[in-house]
A and B are shown apart, each in its own frame.
Chain A
Amino acid sequence: MTVQVLLPRLLAECTGGRTSMALDVPAPTTVGTLLDVLAAEHPVFGRRVRDETGALRRHVNVYVDGEEVRRLAGLATPVPADAEVMVVQSVAGG
């Protein structure tokens, strides 16, 4: 199945300059698996978004079709076919 992924512009240098991409992933899939696929191709991007325990960094948010995954099942949140997954930094910093 295909998933549309939107990535933060601040991390474009980690993804070859790309801020959006269509990923083909086996169904069913989850946010965690999707991030694994991205990290395999772009390891530095993977470290920017999750720490070495695999946890999503505190000030990184992931939305699946507009729903923030921390309000759903976190990294276990299912990603349906043709979903739009948005990775974006939260409001933080000074």
Chain B
Amino acid sequence: MPSTVSARMATTLLAIGTRKGLWFATSEDRRSWSLSSPHFLMTEVPSIGIDTRGGRTRLMVGVRSEHFGPTVVHSDDLGVTWDEPEHGAIRFPADTGAAVERVWQLHPDSADRPGVVWAGCEPISVWRSDDGGNSFALCQGLWDHPHRPEWGAGYGGAAAHSVVPGPDGTVHVAMSTGGVYRTTDGGGSWQPRNSGIGAYFMPGPAPEFGQCVHKIARDAVDPRRLYAQNHHGVYRSDDDGDSWTSIADGLPSDFGFVMLAHPRRAGTVWVVPLVADGERIPPGGELAVHRSDDAGSSWRRLTDGLPAHEYNAVLRDAACVDAGDPVGVYVGTRGGEVYASADEGESFSTVASHLPDVLCVRAAVLP
């Protein structure tokens, strides 16, 4: 008689933010998925944070209406109900004369800093919450940075789209356009860290800042090692961002938006190349995820389960990993397709089809 399995299987939650609403997908095995009905239908969802610290799950969602502006909402019951602070979780101080246009990033910090959540916004600004995302304070040091008047806007708007806190309090941010900045004093001062990163859209040698870095990620084991997908260029830094070297050899293209790092294993990263800035489609019209297990020295092209024909891009936050074992990898396209891998990218299954343009995905194994 076969033995019975008594252990409860873990549920994985995948949140899918699109141009016209938010969907949830859940799975017990990360291969077959159940898709929810839409939340916030007809509003853009450019950012999602899933905070599972402390054994509870809080969903934070940046929502933006074309008519009625941006806001941040949260749910402590997996989206059954949503709370929105009456006066807004993120709002510029009156003396700035600025207004939030879009919340691009909601990133829970580590378990060592419970309650700390980072946000990156348009206009270019970084925010910190110490109360789990109920309210955020502007990082005034970055807002007052003398470079700010020279930061520009990528096609999607001028935004701080990557906020990557390290274990020692160091925080790296990436902005388009402006590049990578780092603080080591809790956000009081910020220094550009773009040495070695190209800016081919500007004449002359690469500047100290002004690059259009699309996404950065930190290595799981060595916190001084970072990876960057640039507006042409894929890079690694081994010195906390002080200098960057190319790791694009072996990739079909050095353009793209995605950079994902393994949550536990050193040197494992994923990218999703696109042909070029003037041709934002997967090379050959075939969607492929590329993984390196040696910090970018070599790459493997992974396509099992992905469509043979795909002419839609994968945006910078429309890809993520979970913390499962093996790690799950997720990608969503501007064509509304979402794919999941339960084996670190070796094979993918389809989670959802025919959704609006996917702007962001975030996944977590529920506690």
Residues of A within 8 A of B (CB): 10-11, 43-44, 47-49, 51-53, 55, 57, 59-60, 89-90, 92-93
Contacts of B65 in A (CB 8 A): 48
CB of A51, distance to nearest CB on chain B (Å) = 4
Minimum distance in angstroms from A4 CB to a CB of chain B: 22
Report if B84 contacts A (CB, 8 A).
Answer: yes
Q: Digit string of B68-90 for contact with A (CB within 8 Å is 1, else 0)?
A: 11010000000000001011100
Interface stretch (choices B94-102, B148-156, B310-318)? B94-102
CB-CB under 8 A from A89, the residues of chain B are: 67-68
Report B32-76 CB contacts with A as 1/0, cut-off 8 Å: 000000000010000000000000000000000111110100000
Can you name 15 A-B residue pairings with CB atoms under 8 Å?
A10-B67, A43-B87, A44-B86, A48-B65, A48-B68, A51-B69, A52-B92, A52-B94, A52-B100, A57-B68, A59-B66, A59-B67, A60-B67, A60-B68, A93-B66
Minimum Cβ distance to chain B for residue A60 (Å): 6
- Residues in B with CB closer than 8 Å to A10 are 67-68
Q: Is the CB of B86 within 8 A of A92?
A: no
Q: Determine the distance from Cα of A53 to Cα of B94 in the docked complex, in whole angstroms.
A: 7
B91 within 8 A of A: yes
Q: Within the assembled complex, what's the spacing in Å between the Cα atoms of A52 and B87?
A: 9
Return chain B residues, CB-CB under 8 Å to A48.
65, 67-69
Q: Which 5 interchain pairs have the tightest Cβ spacing?
A: A51-B99, A48-B68, A89-B67, A43-B86, A93-B66
Q: Shortest Cβ distance from A20 into chain B, in angstroms? A: 18
CA distance A59 to B97 in the complex (A): 20
Q: Which B residues lie within 8 Å of A92 (CB)?
A: 66-67
- Kindly count the residue-residue contacts between A and B in the assembled complex, taking CB atoms under 8 Å apart: 46
Segment 79-128 of B: residues with Cβ below 8 Å from A: 84, 86-88, 91-92, 94, 97-100
- Nearest-neighbor residue (CB-CB) of A43 within chain B: B86
9 more CB-based (< 8 A) A-B contacts, given A92-B67, A93-B66? A11-B68, A48-B68, A52-B91, A53-B99, A57-B69, A59-B66, A59-B67, A60-B67, A93-B42
A55 touches B71 (CB 8 A): no
Question: Which residues on A sit within 8 Å (CB–CB) of B86?
Answer: 43-44
Given the complex of chains A and B, what is the CA–CA distance between A78 and B66 in angstroms?
Answer: 28
What separation, in Å, do the CA atoms of A10 and B100 have in the docked complex? 21
Q: In the assembly, what is the distance between CA of A43 and CA of B88, in Å?
A: 9
Question: In the complex, which residue of chain A has the Cβ closest to the Cβ of B19?
Answer: A94
| A73–B68 CA distance with the chains assembled, in angstroms | 21
CB neighbours of A47 from chain B (8 A): 69, 71, 87-88
